[in-house]
């Protein structure tokens, strides 16, 4: 079996959807038809969310019922790795990693509700990471289902080039099958679990509609394929193979989104969707991925899905099991064997692969080797989510080492002493899983502080402690992560002189501090040495940089880090005997304290990008609420009775927003929020923060 042939039969896909669109039910059917489970278990409870999902609600509304991150199924002669994808923007890192390992995706939509707020979020993330997708309109057995309206919403709301690839036979309780617009054949699912597919004549009442949508489909294919365009103009019929090849080309190039119809709950047309996955979504070698060369200052280079190249693989999900930590990895390049030595590029530690497993049927199957393009699980590897592993022939990373700053903090403590052991275990696990979740101990108050990307982010970790670690916690008031900065340049000239018995201390430095504009690499402090003629010996220059950087950790205005500062060192003096590394470091720290007040210091607050969707009759109250919270509205759109308001709002003002929105819209309003930027806080807020900080320092001194 050649390597190329093998790779061409592999698909790494994810299923993404708005909550309650039937993602779990569809996953269950895929696992059943793909031989992964041997009977279908219904997801009990209201609207398809039942007990099996309880812990998974917390896992960012993302899961499939089988609690594994990558489940492998076999469909005809293809291998499909089904990867669960998180949905919420608070878990940016988690979303990024899951989308990173996907080669393609199925966007599931409810046949009644259509494109909802979470569908928009999921679509935006797929676009950001260039994930080719198919759309599946589910729940066509429900009252009020209309796949054509949903297809139009994909075009209007998501700006996708969507078109019907098959059309349903009957809707609501009459939904029984589909007409395939490429083969122009009709199919029905029969048998208790819909496992038998029977070809039937196209119903007479659908003949004209099928021809109309087939013409639209051929027109879309003609836009991406010259051969079909020629036949389209000559009014000749393209062959099934030509159409499938053109559609595959269009989907992979992100130019086309074919729409498939069905009802997972009623076992209708899931097999056609699996066929479409094998026909139209890319195999691992067709989606170009990049890594960063750590030997060349993180220079980007393309990876090749080639077994003979140096090994590059990414750990994208950690899972605790009875046998220890299970790490899911995507092999991008090269091969990995049981017993191989691999190097973690974050810690530079070399380790032996003790056990390779594949999630297969109802059990884990031990394997000896995994090839480029595959998804594999490894036991006994100590690492964090997002770590890159290579062999000794290459030093590369799948992501930049820069992680976004957290914007919100909470003081947290276990309710009882007995819970402190589990409390520590939980925090260690969460830190490993998610680098945007940070933990530190406040030396002054002696409290444990957790920080993250938003209120929901931290809320879910607190809830997970309770459920997964049986640890009740006491939570303090949320604290916003403010920053300090300067608005203008200022010169400094400082001499540090200390004479005691024996050798003294001497260091003189002068130069300029000025505001640093936002940097591409996310750095907030920059130091430039402009000293000439050996006025300060080279070995003391790093001491000056260290002194300035250390003084930026805690600003004098409100005790938060100072960002956006560029320091130029232009001149100075030293003493042969009395100068030392420490003397220059102390001089820099004192110079920063002295010059800071002259450089117009100010306080910055985090500003969030807010998207609120409400029924149109509640648009006025919703807009009023945003204005009251110092929000700036940047855009409003109305589609099918719903208004979406986009705004920029300071995070400080967003506490309690979900409760207020629910009460103003009778529970019908939804919102999503992500960090956007830091902006100058109003003078009254700065004064209030400065007063609080002064009072806190006074109390500490007493």
Res 165: pLDDT: 93
pTM of the full structure: 0.68
Q: Encode pLDDT of 123-180 as tens digits.
A: 877 887 788 999 999 888 888 889 999 999 899 888 899 999 999 998 888 888 899 9
At 256, the pLDDT band (50, 70, 90 cuts) reads very high
- Name the nearest CA neighbour of 131 among 109, 152, 101, 157: 101
Residue 464, CA distances (Å) to 235, 354, 427, 459, 589 in order:
60, 30, 11, 9, 42
With the CA atoms of 448, 449, 455 and 460 taken in that order, what torsion angle do they form, in degrees rounded to the nearest 10?
A: -40
Res 46: pLDDT: 39
Res 298: pLDDT: 76
Cα distance between residue 426 and residue 403, in whole Å: 21
Cα distance between residue 512 and residue 533, in whole Å: 19
Mean pLDDT, residues 317-343 taken together: 84
Give the number of other CB atoms < 10 A from CB of residue 656.
10
| 523: DSSP letter | -
Q: Encode pLDDT of 382-393 as tens digits.
A: 888 788 899 888
- Distance between first and last Cα of the chain: 78
Measured on CA atoms in the order 244, 246, 248, 254, is the torsion positive or negative? negative
Least reliable range by pLDDT among 69-73, 95-99, 491-495, 569-573: 95-99
pLDDT at 63 over 60: no
Q: Could you tell me the domains of the chain? A: 3-204+256-286 (3.40.50.300), 290-397 (2.40.30.10), 408-481 (3.30.70.870), 484-599 (3.30.230.10), 605-684 (3.30.70.240)
Residue 552, CA distances (Å) to 395, 506, 544, 549, 641 in order:
32, 23, 13, 5, 50
Mean pLDDT, residues 4-21 taken together: 76
pLDDT at 49 over 50: no
Mean pLDDT, residues 415-441 taken together: 86
**The two three-digit tokens of residue 279, written as one number:** 């026909």
Res 457: pLDDT: 81
Res 363: pLDDT: 67
Contact 60, 91 (CB under 8 A): yes
**Exposure letters 319-347 (e unless 16+ CB within 10 A, then b):** eeeeeebbbbbbbbbbbbebebebbbbbe
- Rounded CA Rg of the chain: 29
pLDDT at 4 over 60: no
| Chain mean pLDDT for the chain | 84
Res 9: pLDDT: 87
pLDDT at 525 over 90: yes
Res 404: pLDDT: 63
Q: How far is CA 58 from the centre of its chain?
A: 16
Cα distance between residue 44 and residue 63, in whole Å: 15
Res 90: pLDDT: 55
Query: What is the three-state SS of 273-342?
Result: HHHHHHHHCCCHHHCCCEEEEHHHCCEEEECCCCCCCCCEEEEEEEEEECCEEEEEEEEEECCEECCCEE
Phi-psi region of 585 (alpha: psi -120 to 50; beta: other; left: phi over 0): alpha
At 678, the pLDDT band (50, 70, 90 cuts) reads very high
pLDDT at 303 over 80: yes
Taking 3-state DSSP, the helix, strand and coil percentages for the chain, each rounded to the nearest 5, stand at 35, 35, 35
Q: Encode pLDDT of 83-117 as tens digits.
A: 876 655 556 566 667 777 888 999 988 888 888 76
CA atoms within 13 A on the CB side of 465: 27
How many residues belong to the chain? 702
Measured at the CA of 407, the angle between CA 401 and CA 408, to 5 degrees, comes to: 130
């Amino acid at each position: 079996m050649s390597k190329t042939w093998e790779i061409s039969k592999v698909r790494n896909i994810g299923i993404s959807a708005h909550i309650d669109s039937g993602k779990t039910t569809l996953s269950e059917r895929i696992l059943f038809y793909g031989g992964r489970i041997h009977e279908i278990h219904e997801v009990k409870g209201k609207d398809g969310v039942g007990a099996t999902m309880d812990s998974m609600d917390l896992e960012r509304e993302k899961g499939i019922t089988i609690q594994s991150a990558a489940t492998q199924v076999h469909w005809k002669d293809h291998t499909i790795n089904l990867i669960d994808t998180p949905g919420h923007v608070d878990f940016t890192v988690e979303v990024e990693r899951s989308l990173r390992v996907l080669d393609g995706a199925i966007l599931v939509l409810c046949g009644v509700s259509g494109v909802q707020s979470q569908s928009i979020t999921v679509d935006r993330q797929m676009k950001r990471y260039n994930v080719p997708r198919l759309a599946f309109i589910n729940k066509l057995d429900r009252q009020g289902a209309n796949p054509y309206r949903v297809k139009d919403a994909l075009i209007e709301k998501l700006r996708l080039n969507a078109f019907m690839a098959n059309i349903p036979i009957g809707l609501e309780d009459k939904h029984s099958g589909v007409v395939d617009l490429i083969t122009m054949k009709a199919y029905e699912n029969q048998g208790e679990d819909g496992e038998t597919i029977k070809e039937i004549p196209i119903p007479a009442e659908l003949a004209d509609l099928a021809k109309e949508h087939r013409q639209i489909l051929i027109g879309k294919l003609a836009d991406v394929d010259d051969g079909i365009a020629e036949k389209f103009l000559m009014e000749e019929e393209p062959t099934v193979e030509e159409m499938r090849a053109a559609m595959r080309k269009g989907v992979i190039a992100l130019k086309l989104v074919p729409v498939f119809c069905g009802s997972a709950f009623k076992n209708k047309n899931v097999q056609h969707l699996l066929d479409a996955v094998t026909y139209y979504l890319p195999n691992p070698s067709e989606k170009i991925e990049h890594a960063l060369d750590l030997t060349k200052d993180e220079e980007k280079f393309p990876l090749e899905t080639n077994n003979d190249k140096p090994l590059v693989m990414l750990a994208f999900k950690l899972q605790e099991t009875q046998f220890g930590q299970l790490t899911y990895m995507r092999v991008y390049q090269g091969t990995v064997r049981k017993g191989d030595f691999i190097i973690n590029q974050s810690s530079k530690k070399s380790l032996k692969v003790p056990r390779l497993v594949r999630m297969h049927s109802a059990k884990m199957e031990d394997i000896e080797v995994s090839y480029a393009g595959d998804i594999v699980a490894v036991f006994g590897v100590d690492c964090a989510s997002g770590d890159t592993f290579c062999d000794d022939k290459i030093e590369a990373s799948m992501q930049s080492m820069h992680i976004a700053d957290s914007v919100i903090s909470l003081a947290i403590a276990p309710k009882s002493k007995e819970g402190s052991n589990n409390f520590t275990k939980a925090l260690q696990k969460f830190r490993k899983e998610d680098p945007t979740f940070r933990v530190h101990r406040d030396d002054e108050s002696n409290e444990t502080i957790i920080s993250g990307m938003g209120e929901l982010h931290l809320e879910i970790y607190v809830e997970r402690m309770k459920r997964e670690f049986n640890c009740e916690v006491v939570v303090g008031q949320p604290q916003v992560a403010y920053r300090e900065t300067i608005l203008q340049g200022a010169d400094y000239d400082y001499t540090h002189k200390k004479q005691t018995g024996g050798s003294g201390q001497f260091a003189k430095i002068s130069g300029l501090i000025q505001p640093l504009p936002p940097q591409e690499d996310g750095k907030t402090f920059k130091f430039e040495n402009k000293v000439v003629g050996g006025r300060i010996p080279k070995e003391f220059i790093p001491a000056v940089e260290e002194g300035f950087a250390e003084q930026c950790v805690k600003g004098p205005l409100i005790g938060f880090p100072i960002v956006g500062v560029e320091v130029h060192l232009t001149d100075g003096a030293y003493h042969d005997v009395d100068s030392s590394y420490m003397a220059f470091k102390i001089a820099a720290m004192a110079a920063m304290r002295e010059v800071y007040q002259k450089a117009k210091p100010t306080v910055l607050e985090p500003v969030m990008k807010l998207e609120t969707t409400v029924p149109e009759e509640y648009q006025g109250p919703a807009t009023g609420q945003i204005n009251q919270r110092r929000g700036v509205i940047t855009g409003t759109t109305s589609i099918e009775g719903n208004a979406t308001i986009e705004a920029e709002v300071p995070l400080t003002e967003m506490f309690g927003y979900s409760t207020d929105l629910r009460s103003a819209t009778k529970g019908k309003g939804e919102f999503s929020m992500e960090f956007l930027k830091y902006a100058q806080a109003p003078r009254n807020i700065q004064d209030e923060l400065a007063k609080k900080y002064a009072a806190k320092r006074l109390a500490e001194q007493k």
